[in-house]
């Protein structure tokens, strides 16, 4: 399996519900380094996984929808604990939508999967991996 990874960052504010979250139940900020890894079993006709420039631009566009926002105020996340794991899935799903509509180019339609990793620090991160060959 071939892969490429592009990187950006995300800064949000949010709070959590539930005792398991301790002091994070209060409003707090979070900064993530975000890696998006695109995979395919065979290189495309140009001998690439996907255009790195397009992948970088689309990751940036997806993150711009979330960046510098209080996620508690976003209607799409009403009543949801926007954990690192949850946000990794949101970003992966939004990137998948962009692949399926052709935003990463026609060659990207041959991608097998995407993994999004949100690094909370140098010692803690969470990932979500999804197949692109099936819907959802």
Helix (H/G/I), strand (E/B), else coil: 94 = helix
Q: Report the alpha-carbon angle 131-133-135, nearest 5.
A: 80
Per-residue pLDDT of 76-93, as tens digits, reads 999 999 999 999 999 999
Q: Where are the domains of the chain?
A: 2-17+44-131
Q: Enter the CATH code of domain 2-17+44-131.
A: 3.30.479.10
Per-residue pLDDT of 50-72, as tens digits, reads 999 999 999 999 999 999 999 99
Q: Is the torsion defined by CA of 102, 49, 126, 121 positive or negative?
A: negative
Rounded to whole angstroms, the Cα distance separating 53 from 73 reads 32
Rounded to whole angstroms, the Cα distance separating 18 from 27 reads 13
Per-residue pLDDT of 110-130, as tens digits, reads 999 999 999 999 999 999 999
User: Residue 135: which pLDDT band, with cuts at 50, 70 and 90?
Assistant: low
CB count in 10 Å sphere of residue 69? 16
């Amino acid at each position: 399996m071939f892969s490429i990874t592009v990187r950006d960052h995300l800064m949000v504010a949010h709070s959590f519900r539930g005792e398991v979250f301790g002091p994070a139940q209060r409003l707090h900020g979070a900064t993530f380094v975000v890696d998006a890894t695109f995979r395919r079993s065979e290189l495309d006709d140009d001998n690439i996984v996907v255009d790195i420039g397009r992948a970088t631009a689309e990751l940036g566009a997806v993150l711009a929808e979330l960046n510098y926002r209080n996620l508690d105020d976003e209607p799409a996340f009403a009543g949801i604990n926007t954990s690192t794991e949850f946000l990794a899935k949101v970003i992966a799903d939004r990137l998948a939508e962009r692949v399926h509509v052709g935003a990463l180019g026609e060659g990207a339609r041959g991608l097998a999967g995407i993994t999004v990793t949100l690094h909370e620090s140098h010692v803690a991160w969470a990932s979500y991996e999804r197949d692109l060959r099936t819907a959802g």
